[in-house]
Amino acid sequence: MKSVLAASTALMVAAPAFAEPAAEVLHWWTSGSEAKSIAVLQEEFKENGGTWTDMPVAGGGGDAAMTALRARVLSGNAPTAVQLKGPAIQEWYEETGLADISAVAEENGWADVLPDAIADHMKCEGKWCAAPVNVHRVNWIWGNKQILDEQGIEMPTTWDEFNAAAETLKEAGITPLAHGGQAWQDATVFETVVLGLGGPEFYKAALIDLDPEALKSDRMKEVFDEMRILRGYVDDNFSGRDWNLATAMVMNGEAAFQIMGDWAKGEFLAADKVPGTDFVCAPTPGDGYLYNVDSFAFFEVDGQDKQDGQALLAKLIMGPNFQKVFNLNKGSIPARTDVALDDFDDCAKASYDDMQADSADGSLLPSYAHGMALRGAQAGAITDVVTAHFNSDMSSEDAVQQLADAVAASM
Ligand code: GAL
């Protein structure tokens, strides 16, 4: 009896060390392909003994998820892991602190397999504070192959060509552009036009350096002129539509094109559509590559189980197998440079090649619309003007003035 008691006491004392890793994960991956992608992480976490509590907050682009995050943090109950990216990582670090995951990063050699630009986004005062899952390219146009073939349309390489193709489609009674009227989707289209019409230098001056001259320039007026033209190519029901429903319109032949990051490709692939056969991908007209890196950060939490959960998640996220399978589903390419792309489709391979080339000549640029380039206040100020212009008859002159004013007020 005595020995049994002694043994069970020993077990009780030892118990905390065997606590299962646990994580509550806040994310916004709720479309078909997004859910399929995050499920890969959930599965791996469970296979490694973890208990996963899912906290999905629907809403493409993550605005609703970030609102939910703020509410949780304010109530003193931060989730253990959060989909967080770009400068928001450092903003949260400054505001509340974030867990230091440097031990995991160093043990697993992250510095050797991540491009410097990506690694920099994952650090807070030199320490690793986030783990990257992928690289999405934002500036893509997706086209319905059958419609384009029937109408004799090639993927446009200039915005004039895009407009000409759209006119042809309109005359044929086909909606040229599938778009969801949500602020972040308007911003997504806008930044591709800024890059396309202005070029990488202009994009950088306007949307990264926030140079008032660039914001008010004639070039920026041309960008708003093009946004007004694009507004004429969307269907009547575009307001509020989710991005994946816009993708479905292209898939189902209800519209010819969508301008959207390659998470749209995830939706095509999840529906068994084949690139080059059912749909086509091409960069939006112009030079340059707008990148959007998804990542997870970890708040400082009490409890060994949660801290173990954070370490396990960080390790799995950067695991070579996860980076491959996740990104095959998600439409993106791995953040790790040592994952073979043999099983990836041609759009992904093109994305990788362009990323290398554009990185070499300085035209690999962070997406403002997806929270990679600017802090929240500045990005929000720009998006408010872009969406107000898109949804009214505001002139391009007024738009650039408002843009410059709003950015100045946000500083
Ligand atoms: C982006 C995010 C992508 C994506 C998209 C739509 O901001 O980086 O992973 O799925 O929103 O929700």
Contact 324, 342 (CB under 8 A): no
Per-residue pLDDT tens for 295-317?
999 999 999 999 999 999 999 99
Rounded Cα distance between 260 and 18, Å, is: 45
Closest CA to 61 of 382, 372, 380, 369: 369
Residue 343 CB burial class (10 angstroms; 0-12, 13-18, ≥19): exposed
At residue 18, the pLDDT reads 65
pLDDT at 2 over 60: no
Question: In angstroms, what CA-CA distances link 75 with 68, 78, 93, 213?
Answer: 11, 8, 17, 42
Domain extents in the chain: 20-136+292-350, 138-291+365-410
Rounded Cα distance between 50 and 228, Å, is: 50
291 pocket-lining for ligand 1 (C-beta < 6 Å): no
Per-residue pLDDT tens for 160-194?
999 999 999 999 999 999 999 999 999 999 999 99
At residue 17, the pLDDT reads 53
The CA-CA-CA angle for residues 182, 242, 26, to 5°, reads 95
Q: How far is the CA of 62 from the centre of ligand 1 (A)?
A: 7
Query: Percentage of the chain with pLDDT > 90?
Result: 95
262 pocket-lining for ligand 1 (C-beta < 6 Å): no
What's 347-387 look like in SS3? HHHHHHHHHHHHHHCCCEEECCCCCCCCCHHHHHHHHHHHH
pLDDT at 14 over 80: no
Rounded to the nearest integer, the mean pLDDT of the chain is 95
Q: Are strands 255-259 and 127-128 parallel, antiparallel or unpaired?
A: unpaired
DSSP annotation string for 177-198: E---BSHHHHHHHHHHHHHHHH
275 pocket-lining for ligand 1 (C-beta < 6 Å): no
Query: Percentage of the chain with pLDDT > 70?
Result: 96
The CA-CA-CA angle for residues 389, 395, 396, to 5°, reads 85
pLDDT at 11 over 50: no
At residue 300, the pLDDT reads 96
Give the confidence band of 277 by pLDDT, cuts at 50, 70, 90: very high
Task: For domain 20-136+292-350, give the fold.
Answer: D-Maltodextrin-Binding Protein; domain 2 (3.40.190)
Per-residue pLDDT tens for 237-261?
999 999 999 999 999 999 999 999 9
At residue 19, the pLDDT reads 81
Closest CA to 312 of 73, 41, 15: 41
Backbone angles phi, psi at 129, to 5 degrees: -130, 5
- Is 121 in a helix, a strand, or coil? helix
At residue 168, the pLDDT reads 98
336 pocket-lining for ligand 1 (C-beta < 6 Å): no
Rounded Cα distance between 377 and 380, Å, is: 5
Per-residue pLDDT tens for 320-370?
999 999 999 999 999 999 999 999 999 999 999 999 999 999 999 999 999
Residue 391 CB burial class (10 angstroms; 0-12, 13-18, ≥19): middle
At residue 146, the pLDDT reads 98
Q: Which residues of 229-294 form beta strands (DSSP E)? A: 255-259, 279-283, 289-292
Per-residue pLDDT tens for 46-77?
999 999 999 999 999 999 999 999 999 999 99
Rounded Cα distance between 278 and 109, Å, is: 40
292 pocket-lining for ligand 1 (C-beta < 6 Å): yes
Residue type, position 59, single letter: G
pLDDT at 118 over 70: yes
Backbone angles phi, psi at 245, to 5 degrees: -75, -30
At residue 15, the pLDDT reads 47
- Nearest-atom number in ligand 1 for the CA of 332 is 9
Give the confidence band of 407 by pLDDT, cuts at 50, 70, 90: very high
62 pocket-lining for ligand 1 (C-beta < 6 Å): yes
389 pocket-lining for ligand 1 (C-beta < 6 Å): no
pLDDT at 288 over 50: yes
Other C-beta atoms lying within 10 Å of the C-beta of residue 323: 24
Topology agreement, domain 20-136+292-350 and domain 138-291+365-410? yes
Q: Whose CA is nearest to atom 1 of ligand 1?
A: 61
Task: For domain 138-291+365-410, give the fold.
Answer: D-Maltodextrin-Binding Protein; domain 2 (3.40.190)
Token duo for residue 325: 């399978």
Rounded Cα distance between 278 and 132, Å, is: 31
Give the confidence band of 36 by pLDDT, cuts at 50, 70, 90: very high
Q: Whose CA is nearest to atom 10 of ligand 1?
A: 263
Q: Which residue has the tokens 């446009």?
A: 156
At residue 5, the pLDDT reads 44
